[in-house]
Chain A
Amino acid sequence: MNLVERIRVRGLLLDGAMGTELQRKGLSAGTPPDLWNLQNPEAVKEIHTSYIEAGSDAISANTFGSSPLRFVAHKSSESWEEITRRGVALAKEVASREVLVAGDIGPSGLLLAPMGPATPEEVERSFAAQAKVMDEEGVDFFIAETFFSLQEILLAARALRSVSSRPFFLSMTFEKRRRGFFSIMGDPIVAAMNAMADTGATAVGANCSLGSADMIEAAAEIRRAVSIPVIIQPNAGQPQVTPEGTVYPETPEGFAENIRKIRRLGVEIVGGCCGTRPETIAAIRAQW
């Protein structure tokens, strides 16, 4: 059964957050999470393993921020390529045959001209370079996620297609405004989904920004907009800073209940974004 058939027949449960889990393990403020692929690989592997044990069908490599353009902003002496390569290798080391490994791609962190300094060509080149490394390391598919600009995620899609024939999922982040869901660049959710579906993506959808309750409504709009598989990964609510640290308010049970509603809309691929934990994934698996 290939990936698309598997998604259609059984759905696909992804993993939860990596960044917030690494912070729980002591990742310090401002250290790029991807850097731990080299500096603390055991912690990264433990998190992958805990998601697999919780029931994830696929895990995302710790490569969200390791594209050349984004990584250069950290002024780190480490190489983005080595970090990307190790990130995929760590995920593959712990994944059994049944568990798929996704190459994770985040936005470049730059605004495209005329708003910002980046040209479409350099942004596409950056994504292509990162994706090529992940393709060589043998990821099963790609997820480009948390993009707030349709223009930029379309560049990521082009880059992916130019260096790899593996399937890819595209996922943007939206805010709820008075007239509906929009990216902060003003891309309306339905138009964004249609444009992303036209790239040949295996799945399109939304992640981050919204908690699981608001995401139900966004998921319904996405499901109506496209016929290809849909991917949804909410946050565990809005982060609240307390004297004890940052807290994401949604419980695993509440989150799983909303995911159940999202799946009943016909959404095939689900997982968690910021603040979700192995317990969250286990709660979703329990009612799969």
Chain B
Amino acid sequence: MIDTIEILKKQFEINDLYHQRSNLCFITGKKEQLLSILQALRDLHNYTHLVMVTAVDWIEQNQFQLTYLLHNYESRTDLGIRVFLDRECPVMASIHHLWKQGRVYQQELHEMFGIDFPGSPDQDIPMILEGWQGPPPMRRDFDTKKYSEETYSNRERNHHEPEQYMKQILYPEEN
């Protein structure tokens, strides 16, 4: 895996190599070169399996981190490519033509984070939520507890201290 990364370093701008395990590495790539990196990994270096595409919201640094995780069945290694997007206007190139399940991941990320993948089929059709009128729910500035308390009403709860409650039931004469 290290030689693959060395080969990639000659062509693209790659930094932040993070060795998590012997068979798992994370690298950071540039957003504009990501499509070429993925295509090179898939066609030349045998990383044929797209495991997942996720996003992490680094609200303190005003960035989204997209992680593309690829797996190589020959050498049994994983390579995660991180890409940082601007949080105000997150746009990223679509990979639905490389892997068919990429379309589904991108549809979910668009709905949950608000990241735009122009060209991805069915992107604006809501997949998970129906009739959702709020902000994208997975962003860190969306407070789910406050939203839940405002929208849904809770049942009144009776609080019992277990010890006192059981004493009252079992020995009513003494209390």
A joins B in a complex: no
Binding site for B on A (CB under 8 A): none
Binding site for A on B (CB under 8 A): none
